[in-house]
Structure 1
């Protein structure tokens, strides 16, 4: 898979570069935002199909906190748990938090170089094995996709047709 540049051209045989990775993150976030928008306000924050699961809004808060923590850590070397999305109490708040976190990612992204993505460091949060920063961002992306899939199931259980996953 080669990443397309802004002008539609290909990246001269480069499999993936930081700009291409950001495009993938952007595409996935657009879809997550559309899933948020499909939820009725109350269901977004309260509905869960069984007691052990979380409402979709809580999953989105986790997605946003992970992105903010990882991008800040990779770009600036500042590793700490933030709670940028935890105060969202309405759909409008949650959508604003999505834009705030993504704006911060775009602001810091020029510091996310190929060399920095390939750098391997100890896990700053969970005590897991050392991994590259690219692997951290892939984890964040997989986490978002996983929780968005849960959101699709929730919407279907609520009788709401979710957005088409292949439209970005």
Structure 2
């Protein structure tokens, strides 16, 4: 019995990305790249770059068997570049998505980036949870800046 189809998962990923981009857009540009409410935290832009690196690494690994985890977005320094990169990565994900089957998502392998064996579906679930976690941090950052974050329920 399939509880969540491949297309259902993509729809969830898409809705979450739209919301993450709305959070990015809510930030003033300087604060997006430099603001943290406490010393050891990263600026929200750095978290978004991590989300994109994980998406790129997992999607290319699952669809093409190319397991690389480069920091492809380190040089991004403007909101426009960040939004554009997010959209480009998601476009690539949509293309690679066509290369995968639901059976592919069920394949269990050792994770080349983070260690334990898991299914490709579980990897994508981790990537989604990581994005949600960091987006939640973005909401807090916005509130500490006195900015009302986007409505959570609008995807």
Give structure 2 stretches of 5+ with no counterpart.
none
Give structure 1 stretches of 5+ with no counterpart.
1-12
For the residue of structure 2 that corresponds to 1:121, the secondary structure is strand
Structure 2 residue corresponding to 1:164, chosen from 133, 147, 151:
151
State how many pairs are aligned: 155
Structure 1 residue corresponding to 2:84, chosen from 72, 92, 96:
96
1:134 is aligned to 2:129: no
TM norm structure 2: 0.97
Indicate the residue corresponding to 2:141 in structure 1: 154
Q: For 2:84 and 2:54, locate their aligned partners in 1 and report how far apart those are by CA, in whole Å.
A: 16
C-alpha change, 1:61 and 1:164, in structure 2 (3 Å) is same
Runs (4 or more) in structure 1 with deviation over 4 Å come to: none
Bigger Rg, which one: 1
How far has the Cα of 1:14 moved from its partner? 4.6
How far has the Cα of 1:123 moved from its partner? 1.3
Aligned residue runs from structure 1 range 67-82, under 5 A:
67-82=55-70
Structure 2 residue corresponding to 1:45, chosen from 33, 52, 60:
33
> In 2, are the aligned partners of 1:123 and 1:130 still within 8 Å (CA)?
yes
Indicate the residue corresponding to 1:62 in structure 2: 50
> In 2, are the aligned partners of 1:39 and 1:155 still within 8 Å (CA)?
yes
> In 2, are the aligned partners of 1:71 and 1:105 still within 8 Å (CA)?
yes
1:145 is aligned to 2:145: no
Relative contact order higher in (CA < 8 Å, ≥ 6 apart): 2
Q: For 1:51 and 1:69, locate their aligned partners in 2 and report how far apart those are by CA, in whole Å.
A: 29
How far has the Cα of 1:122 moved from its partner? 0.8
Indicate the residue corresponding to 2:102 in structure 1: 114
Q: For 1:82 and 1:17, locate their aligned partners in 2 and report how far apart those are by CA, in whole Å.
A: 29
TM norm structure 1: 0.90
